Amino acid sequence: MEKGIKRVCAAGMVLGLSAGMLAGCGGGAGQGEPKSIRIGVSVYDQYDTFVSQMMTDFNEYAARREEETGVVISIEIYNAAGSQTTQNSQVEEMLDDGCDVVCVNLVDRTEPTTIIDMAEKNQVPVIFFNRELVEEDLERWNQLYYVGAKAFESGVMEGEIAADSFKEHPEVDRNGDGIFQYIVLEGEAGHQDAIVRTEYAVSTIVENGVEVEKLGYAIANWNRAQAQTKMTQMLSEYGTEIELVIANNDDMALGAIDALKASEVDREEWPVIVGIDGTDVGLAAVAAGEMAGTVYNDKKGQAQAMLDLAYELSVDGDLTELDLEDGKYIRLPYAKVGPDEVETYME
Ligand code: BGC
């Protein structure tokens, strides 16, 4: 086994290669004895906590599948480092290298055309993941797939956690006016999860009978450091008037916590903080009582579904077992994680 081999390419770092032995390109198992398959992956940003944890799960599961099937699974993971142009070149390289399937975490989910055209020309299927392109783009060719989650569900669950906290712990209504004063820390503008999560989180709190008042919001691009900066600014403006922080992901919730820790706000005066993802650091914050809860974004399930799909596509196998929605989509459900559930998720 040659695990975690690293090589550097012009466009950025290749994170890892091969769940097992290095195989020749395009060794698709096809009919007869399966031998080897080659999967190319490009992530929009290797420093994104959720995506990098998903990639770890992807590699681990590939190693397991390799043992089970006896098929050598080679994986190349490229970091597009926030550039769609870089990502397009990476996909071109993967296709030249003879990958059997490419998995793309789009940098710009509105710009998949170059990748789709190249893949179709080479007749190599593409699995897009986590950053959802619009349906019309996914319909451009019959070998395009998407693996992700049900965005609205995460917003609903986050809203339920917030509403329950307000109802079950009257002290979180610091000024006692019966209204939950909140701020939002949003992910990238234009990302399907950012738009949908904010909308559903807030509407769910209201539907659960809790009146809300929005004090402010800031875009922090899924990023902890940016969220800390934005939260620091909002703290200087609103101070302890903020009773609730709705963060579109755990990293930004943690950025808010960093800001609170660096501020003069006493721990007892902290707002309720809710996140989404259930990353290792997010779960630790729930366990420590710093976050009221998070919503588990099933990175393991998504990684496994993507590998299973990539495997079947590479060996011209059977897709019927995979439960594809409209023949193209795999969307894993979310789950609420509060103090009672957190241990289970921390394993
Ligand atoms: C995750 C975020 C992540 C983003 C990247 C979202 O689904 O919840 O944590 O930064 O995807 O695209």
How far is C-alpha 323 from the chain's CA centre?
A: 21
Which residue, chain included where needed, has tokens 């992807």?
58
Joined together, the tokens standing for residue 186 give 């949003």
Whole-angstrom distance, CA of residue 80 vs CA of residue 69: 31
* 3-148+299-316 shares its CATH topology with 152-296+339-346: yes
80 lines ligand 1 (CB under 6 A): no
Atom of ligand 1 nearest to the CA of 279: 9
Distance between Cα 83 and ligand 1 center (Å): 17
193 lines ligand 1 (CB under 6 A): yes
The whole-number pLDDT of residue 31 equals 52
132 lines ligand 1 (CB under 6 A): no
Distance between Cα 223 and ligand 1 center (Å): 10
The whole-number pLDDT of residue 282 equals 98
Whole-angstrom distance, CA of residue 111 vs CA of residue 86: 13
What are the angstrom distances between the C-alpha of 141 and each of 26, 126, 129, 135, 289? Answer: 21, 10, 16, 11, 47
The whole-number pLDDT of residue 195 equals 87
Could you tell me if 212 and 168 are in contact, meaning their C-beta atoms sit under 8 angstroms apart? no
- CATH number for region 152-296+339-346: 3.40.50.2300
Q: What's the pTM?
A: 0.91
331 lines ligand 1 (CB under 6 A): no
Could you tell me if 242 and 270 are in contact, meaning their C-beta atoms sit under 8 angstroms apart? no
Domain assignments of the chain as residue spans, ordered by start: 3-148+299-316, 152-296+339-346
Q: What is the pLDDT along the chain (347 residues), one digit of tens a residue?
A: 333 323 333 334 454 444 433 333 344 444 555 589 999 999 999 999 999 999 999 999 999 999 999 999 999 999 999 999 999 999 999 999 999 999 999 999 999 999 999 999 999 999 999 999 999 999 999 999 999 999 999 999 999 999 999 999 999 999 999 999 999 999 999 999 998 999 999 999 999 999 999 999 999 999 999 999 999 999 999 999 999 999 999 999 999 999 999 999 999 999 999 999 999 999 999 999 999 999 999 999 999 999 999 999 999 999 999 989 999 999 999 999 999 999 999 97
Residue in 226, 248, 277 to alter for ligand 1 test, most ligand atoms within 8 A of Cβ: 277
What are the angstrom distances between the C-alpha of 310 and each of 22, 112, 128, 129? Answer: 18, 19, 11, 12
161 lines ligand 1 (CB under 6 A): no
- With H, G, I as helix, E, B as strand and everything else as coil, classify residue 23: coil
Joined together, the tokens standing for residue 188 give 């990238």
Distance between Cα 334 and ligand 1 center (Å): 13
Is 8 exposed, middle or buried (CB count within 10 Å of its CB: 0-12, 13-18, 19+)? exposed
The whole-number pLDDT of residue 58 equals 98
The whole-number pLDDT of residue 147 equals 98
The whole-number pLDDT of residue 29 equals 41
Angle between helices 250-262 and 49-69 (to 10 degrees): 140
The architecture (CATH level 2) of 3-148+299-316 comes to 3-Layer(aba) Sandwich (3.40)
